[in-house]
Structure 1
Amino acid sequence: MKGCGGLIHAGDEEEGAALVPLPAADELQEAPHKVVDDDGDAAERTVERQPPSSSATTTTRPCWKTPLLSPTKGAVGLVIGGLVLLALLAGAGWVDLDASFLRGNGSGTGGTGRRWRHPPRRQRSSPPVPIPFSCGNGTSSSSTPLCRRPRVGMPPPAASPSPAAPPPPSCPDYFRHIHSDLEPWREKGMSREAVERGRPKAAFRLTVVSGRAYVETYHRVFQTRDLFTQWGIAQLLARYPGRVPDLDLMFNCEDMPELRAADYPDTSAAPPLFRYCKDGTSLEVLFPDWSFWGWPEVNIRPWGPLMKEIAEENARLPWPDRQPYAFWKGNPDVSRARRDLFRCSNDSAAGRDWNARLFALDWGAASRNGFKGSTNLAEQCRYRYKIYVQGRSWSVSEKYILACDSPMLAIDTPFDDFFSRGLVAGRHYWPVDPGDKCRAVKFAVDWGNAHPALAQRMGKEGSGFAREDMSMDYVYDYMLHVLTHYAALLRYKPTVPDKAVELCPESMACSAQGRDREFMMESREMYEAGYEPCTMPPPFTAEEAREMAAREKDVRRKVVKMEGR
């Protein structure tokens, strides 16, 4: 299957974990100053690999992910955990191999050692305001219902909020990359002509005027990527009525980044283009991919309900009871990286075992069977480790891998989507060198099996990131912030294109059938947000970027040393 989409394999992969370090003493002293959500989970903050400048986007970023803050789980648990960890490391002799990066990866705010926690859960207004939805007779209809006129949105936050109302939480640090995505146009802004220069690379044009969305389609895309991306946008407008500003943008639904910085010595001359992934040499603006609202062609449910299903499966099969190997299943034909992974297959006849259990998916047979069973992602959390390998570019599989409570062994890739820029090497996942992947996978599995407390902690960190920092609340907040900041750079008043059609939940879902309709209903927002979105954090500073790059380099050096290379 095609690239970023190689999700089938993705869904089959597990969560990305990191060699999660325990906090240092000074971090424990600062912990009480951070906020914790009601289940006590701590949050990670993202770090950027480059200084936030237009020139930075033209350099190739390091292939390994950047390390970040390590969260805390509470003072008592940390003290006990620290004693257990020290005993394990001392007993196994790993202190000599310098696994110190398991102790802490610094801070997402410039390496100050501060440890962030998840903010308190936001509370809806009381009573919640339902989002009206009706197809007339309540069934699928060949006639398209008219879109409702949007209600006036919530007023902007007051300068002095009521003491009874808690302030909105700070957004996860991966939101900070919105600033760097938009940096090329920060100074000069975007003209209508500049936006329209992106048309040859766009699948559709999205325009929002007075709270109503309109789409002009330019060409067909693979499967229903455009449909479910637009469905997500329609849900955003319903969730935050009146909060999405007037805007005009071009959206590309393909796999490979193609807006190359090298083609634009003056990056402000590049046409702004939204898409799902990018690498260190491209200028696209990132946006959540379609699969957060479901992937009907491969029978993968929307992210919200699927996360609950995966959590239930995790509880049914604790990590120690899982098979002690690294798992990957999917379509190997979409990329050389995947085909090459099969060199690490178990060969009992030759007496060779790389601790990997790899399964090639017969795409044709699975498609004929409606992908029944082959993409049951919750049931694939049966291995202690899961491998992440890119598709044609990035792969939507990464979030499903992260959700399994099992360390993700992530094979180096230059591609990122909007949230993966917040994953921290050595915390949320174990980095794997693609040049020596078989030996690296074997070592990671052997090491984790010999140090189950650390391996489980890494798995929990990865799944915690997926569950908390990637909740649909934050997915929608990311969409709102990136669209708001983008709209602020437009130097013209958007108008509805002549060939555009209005986009709303009724016009999309009421005429849909089969899984398309099922997944739309399953991912439909039922209530208005009733609260302010999370507070957008500032851009990364040049100093923070340097410190994060140094931490990334240090993690890689220590992994190589542990592997004995």
Structure 2
Amino acid sequence: MVTLEPRGGLLQVREAWYEHLSLKPSSCTPFLEDNPAGDNGEQSIYRRRWPNSFTVLDDSEELFPNLSRQGRMSLPTSFLLGSGAAGGRGRNGRPPHYTPTTSGELRAPIPFTCGNETSSEIPACPRAAAASPSPSPTAALLLSSEQRPAAAQSATCPEYFRYIHSDLSPWREAGIAREAVERARGMATFRLVVVAGRAYVEKYHPAYQTRDVFTLWGILQLLARYPGRVPDLDLMFFCGDIPVVRAAAYPDRSEAPPLFMYCTEDAALDIVFPDWTFWGWPEVNIRPWAPFLEEVARESRRTPWLDRKPYAFWKGNANVCGLRRDLMRCNKGSDSGKDWNARLFRQDWGYANRNGFKDSNLAKQCTYRYKICVQGRGWSVSEKYILACGSPMLRVDTPFRDFFSRGFVAGRHYWPIDAARMCPSIKFAVDWGNAHPAQAQRMGEEGSSFLRNELSMDYVYDYMLHLLTHYARLLRYRPTVPENATELCLESMACTASGRAREFMMESMEKYVADYEPCALPGPFTADELAELAQRDVEMRSKMKKMEEQEEET
């Protein structure tokens, strides 16, 4: 039985959840990141996250038809409560995201110029900037879809946006004082302050590679895309892989220091923010998210799913974590002498860099029917890239989750793999998928469709906007520019960059001011909704595990 425990308005699945998954939280003792290539410290992108809920694919066409012999549950089509489809709307019950308000008019370009690039001086930030909103349009953004005027109605955000309320719930009642923000300084990589629409940063600790650079670049794109909509704010940001604000240290959750980072877990209170790779990862030649999605869609069409190799693929640094070393035992030709239907390859990022990344293009790794996702030392950015191919993702259980993966559904978007039984679990998943190609192919399509429809850059920016807007509302003081902070703008970052970093900045730069409303943020989950989601997820996993055990007995 799963134990549900209240946490700042949320119900969290605790130790019994790990016991159910046969996963020890310390199976890979982490601190920062994978360093896969040894000498040069290049870092693996093959890391992972954590599921939250589940459903079958559809009431009329279930993914697991044989579950009916085991007393299958009857579930609604929508896996998140209150997200049923609406008549006359597009996929996922929502109209198209953009509804331009400048009918017939040209879109306003975002000004940018590097001027004299022969100068070694850092370009000065232009003085003309959008004013900070007060109280409009920020207040308008916070209205529910029912409260908005009819002319201002916009599409409802994806359901995972509801976790914004959950992440900020520890401070909902008491608010956030300046002292609380400053208590996170020792853990933070940098401090970001936005005043009157301008961004200022004070750096405290070095980030790995260019994580901080591209995170800040993404925030500048948000300010340019939605001028005047980002309110004054003051926040601390940690660029690591492991949540550091431990819930156990703060019996009174309102006393926890608010700290933004890329992931969270049940035992942590960190505030989840989109990771830097959405704007590119130059050190390993991973393009910004929007062009990557276009490229991987083209590559996926080159090899239809039925023509792909009928095995599970993984490529990464196997030396960073015991869990990955265990995974390598599932490889064909391993000491076990068995074929577990896995084809696993070691990635040397140092060699890849010297070789011009010729064999490391993630968009071209769509030639296998199944793809494995396994964590490194901690949270992983790799999940969205693995899911993008349209091949079912075999996801080894892990406690870490980022902002969008909380919308994933076991049995719909991915196949959960028991970390304690990786080899037989992988073999069963592949055997089952090859025996049920229509259902397996649909799972792959559901995963890649989630990325295209729920994780476009439009929604990444809208998530950032809603999160920062609601965070700013909790501040109990007026943010001011720190004495040692430096102003950031498009020119000061892009014009001083070079090589692949500059290429990716230019490729991910927003070109026009948004002439449409952001999506409308749904309300928070209730405790009952969260409890039901967690219980459904457990029941689906139990049924899938039972299928596997029954297969072994035959």
**Shorter-chain-normalised TM-score: which range?**
0.7 to 0.9
2:72 matches 1:117:
no
Q: Which amino acid aligns with 2:129?
A: P
Q: Which moved more, 1:150-159 or 1:264-273?
A: 150-159
CA deviation map 1:50-91 (0-9, x unaligned)? 76735746945946623346677xxxxx97xx4xx79x95xx
Matched ranges for 1:149-548 at <5 A: 149-152=128-131, 156=137, 157=140, 165=151, 167-347=153-333, 351-370=337-356, 372-548=357-533
2:124 is aligned, of 124, 146, 154, to: 146
Q: Give the conservation status (yes or no) of the 8 Å contact 1:293–1:523.
A: yes
Q: Give the TM-score normalised by the residue count of structure 2.
A: 0.84
Q: Which amino acid aligns with 1:218?
A: Y
CA deviation map 1:437-471 (0-9, x unaligned)? 10000000010011111001100110011111110
In 2, Cα distance between the equivalents of 1:560 and 1:514? 48
Shift of 1:254: 1.0
Shift of 1:212: 0.5
In 2, Cα distance between the equivalents of 1:270 and 1:162? 37
CA deviation map 1:18-40 (0-9, x unaligned)? xxxxxxxxxxxxxxxxxxxxxxx
In 2, Cα distance between the equivalents of 1:373 and 1:113? 43
Q: Which amino acid aligns with 1:131?
A: I
Unaligned runs of 5+ in 2: 19-49
In 2, Cα distance between the equivalents of 1:140 and 1:462? 46
CA RMSD of aligned residues (A): 2.7
SS at match of 1:410: strand
Q: Which amino acid aligns with 1:438?
A: C
1:107 is aligned, of 36, 54, 79, to: 79
**Structure-2 residue corresponding to 1:134:** 113
Q: Give the conservation status (yes or no) of the 8 Å contact 2:81–2:529.
A: yes
Shift of 1:118: 4.0
* Inter-CA distance 67–98: structure 2 relative to 1 (3 Å threshold): farther
In 2, Cα distance between the equivalents of 1:557 and 1:350? 27
* Inter-CA distance 249–507: structure 2 relative to 1 (3 Å threshold): same
How many correspondences in the alignment? 500
SS at match of 1:384: strand
CA deviation map 1:354-385 (0-9, x unaligned)? 00000011233223334x12430111011100
Unaligned runs of 5+ in 1: 1-48, 73-77
**Structure-1 residue corresponding to 2:8:** 53
In 2, Cα distance between the equivalents of 1:543 and 1:338? 36
In 2, Cα distance between the equivalents of 1:271 and 1:452? 49
* Inter-CA distance 68–150: structure 2 relative to 1 (3 Å threshold): farther
In 2, Cα distance between the equivalents of 1:460 and 1:99? 27
In 1, Cα distance between the equivalents of 2:210 and 2:268? 25
Shift of 1:500: 0.5
* Inter-CA distance 62–178: structure 2 relative to 1 (3 Å threshold): farther
Q: Give the conservation status (yes or no) of the 8 Å contact 1:296–1:515.
A: yes
In 2, Cα distance between the equivalents of 1:174 and 1:248? 24
In 2, Cα distance between the equivalents of 1:377 and 1:493? 44
Q: Give the conservation status (yes or no) of the 8 Å contact 2:10–2:166.
A: no
* Inter-CA distance 331–374: structure 2 relative to 1 (3 Å threshold): farther
Shift of 1:315: 1.3
Matched ranges for 1:5-20 at <5 A: none
* Inter-CA distance 110–60: structure 2 relative to 1 (3 Å threshold): farther
**Structure-2 residue corresponding to 1:41:** none
Q: Which amino acid aligns with 2:525?
A: F
SS at match of 1:519: helix
In 1, Cα distance between the equivalents of 2:387 and 2:536? 22
* Inter-CA distance 140–102: structure 2 relative to 1 (3 Å threshold): farther
Q: Give the conservation status (yes or no) of the 8 Å contact 2:241–2:262.
A: yes
CA deviation map 1:89-133 (0-9, x unaligned)? 5xxxx3565495797665311698999434323133332111011
Shift of 1:153: 7.6
In 1, Cα distance between the equivalents of 2:506 and 2:74? 43
In 2, Cα distance between the equivalents of 1:419 and 1:143? 39
Shift of 1:515: 0.5
* Inter-CA distance 50–212: structure 2 relative to 1 (3 Å threshold): farther
Q: Which moved more, 1:372-381 or 1:242-251?
A: 372-381
Q: Which amino acid aligns with 2:173?
A: E
Shift of 1:406: 0.6
- Using CA pairs under 8 Å that are at least 6 residues apart, name the structure with larger relative contact order, 1 or 2: 1
SS at match of 2:274: coil
SS at match of 1:395: coil
In 2, Cα distance between the equivalents of 1:152 and 1:225? 28
In 2, Cα distance between the equivalents of 1:307 and 1:540? 30
SS at match of 2:312: strand
